[in-house]
Amino acid sequence: MKVRFVAPDGSVREREATLGERLLDVAQRDGQPLEGTCEGDMACATCHVIVDPADFARLPAASEDEEDMLDLAYGATRTSRLACQIVLDESLGGLTVRVPDGSRNMQGR
């Protein structure tokens, strides 16, 4: 399956992902600037991505803990998610997410 990353500079890259893999791991393999500091413990929000609105409904709903962390994410939008919480399955092929500008400075507001 493939997923697409839209970098802060607007460039789009498609990556091959393995079923069951976390979106964060695919992004990091691609060199996208997502730190993922807490390794998926929902304690950092440095893995924040903005899901393409057309794809957002395909994702399982965020947990309350994820929503709380997204509240702290710099530049969060209504389709923001934590990439460490997105586990790729066959229903998510072609998922497109934008890597926000300033993802290295999530506490910046």
Binding site for ligand FES (CB under 6 A): 24, 36-40, 42-47, 69, 82, 84
Minimum distance of ligand FES from residue 76's CB (angstroms): 12
* Nearer residue to ligand FES within complex by CB, 10 or 79: 79
Minimum distance of ligand FES from residue 73's CB (angstroms): 9
* Nearer residue to ligand FES within complex by CB, 54 or 98: 98
Q: Tokens 């899901």 belong to which residue?
A: 51
- Residue 71 has which token pair? 């509240």
Minimum distance of ligand FES from residue 44's CB (angstroms): 3
Question: Whose CB is nearest to ligand FES?
Answer: 84
Minimum distance of ligand FES from residue 62's CB (angstroms): 11
**Ramachandran region, residue 25 (left: φ > 0; alpha: ψ -120 to 50; beta: rest):** alpha
* Nearer residue to ligand FES within complex by CB, 10 or 26: 26
On the 0-12 / 13-18 / 19+ scale of CB atoms within 10 A, 73 is buried
Q: Cα dist. 37→70, 79, 105 in Å?
A: 15, 21, 12
